[in-house]
Structure 1
Amino acid sequence: MATLTHDIPKAPPSRRLSGLGLAVLSAASFALSGPLAKALIDSGWTAGSAVMARILIAAAVLIVPALIALRGRWFLLRRNAGLITAYGLIAVAGCQLAYFNAVDHMQVGVAILIEFTSPVAVIGWLWFRHGQRPSRLTVGGALLAIAGLALVLDLISGADVDPIGVLWALGAMAGAAFYWIISADEDNGLPGIVLAAGGLLLGGVALLVAGLVGIVPLATSRTDVVLAGSDLPWWVPVLALGVVTAGLAYVLGIAATRRLGSRLAAFVGLTEAVASVLFAWLLLDQAPAAVQFAGGALILLGVIAVRLGEPTTQHASEAVAP
Structure 2
Amino acid sequence: MPQRASRDPRTLALGLVLVVVSSAAFGSSGAFAKALLATGWTPGGVVTWRVAGAALVMLPIALWSLRGRWHLLTRSRGNLGQVAAFGLVAVAGCQFAYFNAVETLSVAVALLLEYLGIVVVVGWLWAVHGRRPSRLTLVGVGLSVAGLVLVLDVFSGVEISWVGVVWGLLAAVGLATYYVTSAHEHEESLPPLALAGLGLTVGAVALVAASATGLIDYATSSTRVVVAGAFVPWWVPVAELALVAAAIAYGVGVIGTRLVGATVASFVGLSEVLFAILIAWVLLGELPGLVQLVGGLLILGGVVAVRMGERPDDDVPADATRDGAHDGTAAGDGTGADGIPADWSATHPVA
Alignment coverage as a number of residue pairs: 311
Change (3 A) 1:296 1:206: same
Q: Is the counterpart of residue 48 in structure 1 residue 30 in structure 2?
A: no
Offset at 1:128? 4.1
Root-mean-square deviation (CA, aligned residues, Å) is 3.8
Which residues in structure 2 correspond to 1:254-273 (within 5 Å)?
254=254, 259-260=261-262, 265=266, 271-273=271-273
Tell whether the 8 Å contact from 2:42 to 2:220 is kept in structure 1 after alignment: yes
- Asked if the contact 1:271/1:299 (under 8 Å) is kept, the reply is no
Is contact 1:149–1:270 with CA below 8 Å preserved after alignment? Answer: no
Distance 1:113 1:297 in 2: 10
Q: Give a deviation string over 1:45-86, Cα, whole Å, max 9, x none.
A: 222111101001101111222222222311122222222122
Q: Distance between the aligned counterparts of 1:260 and 1:190, measured in 2?
A: 16
Q: How does 1:108-187 map to 2 (within 5 A)?
A: 114-148=113-147, 151=150, 157=156, 159=159, 170-187=169-186
Once the two structures are TM-superposed, the CA of residue 281 in structure 1 deviates from its matched residue by: 0.5
Which residue identity is paired with 1:119? Answer: I
Distance 2:14 2:129 in 1: 26
Residue 90 of structure 1 corresponds to 89
Unpaired runs of 5+ residues, structure 1, are: 1-5
Give the Å deviation of 1:151: 4.4
CA contact (8 A) 1:76 1:189 kept: yes
1:168 and 1:278, CA in 2 relative to 1: closer, same or farther beyond 3 A?
closer
Change (3 A) 1:217 1:128: closer
Q: Deviations over 1:173-210 (max 9, x none)?
A: 32221111111123243111111111111111111111
List runs of 5+ in structure 2 lacking aligned partners: 324-351
- TM-score with structure 2 length normalisation? 0.72
Deviates more, 1:310-319 or 1:204-213: 310-319
Structure 1 residue 61 corresponds to structure 2 residue 53: no
Task: Tell me which residue corresponds to 1:216.
Answer: 216
Query: Counting helix residues as a fraction of each chain, which structure ranks higher?
Result: 1
For the structure 1 residues 248 and 153, does the alpha-carbon distance in structure 2 shift closer, same or farther, using more than 3 Å as the test? farther
Q: Sort the Cα spacing of 1:180 and 1:20 in 2 relative to 1 into closer, same or farther, 3 A.
A: farther
Q: Is the 8 A contact 2:116 2:169 kept in 1?
A: no
Change over 3 Å in CA distance of 1:27–1:133 after alignment to 2: farther
SS in 1 for 2:226: strand
Which residue of the partner structure matches residue 72 of structure 1?
A: 68
How far, CA to CA, are the matches of 2:206 and 2:287 in structure 1?
36
Aligned residue in 2 for 1:37: 33
Q: 1:213 to 1:297 in 2, by over 3 A?
A: same
CA distance in 1, matches of 2:155, 2:273: 16
- Aligned identity (percent) is 47
Aligned mates of 1:67, 1:249 — CA distance in 2: 19
1:231-266 deviations in Å (ceiling 9; x for gaps): 22221211110011112233355567773359x93x
SS in 2 for 1:208: helix
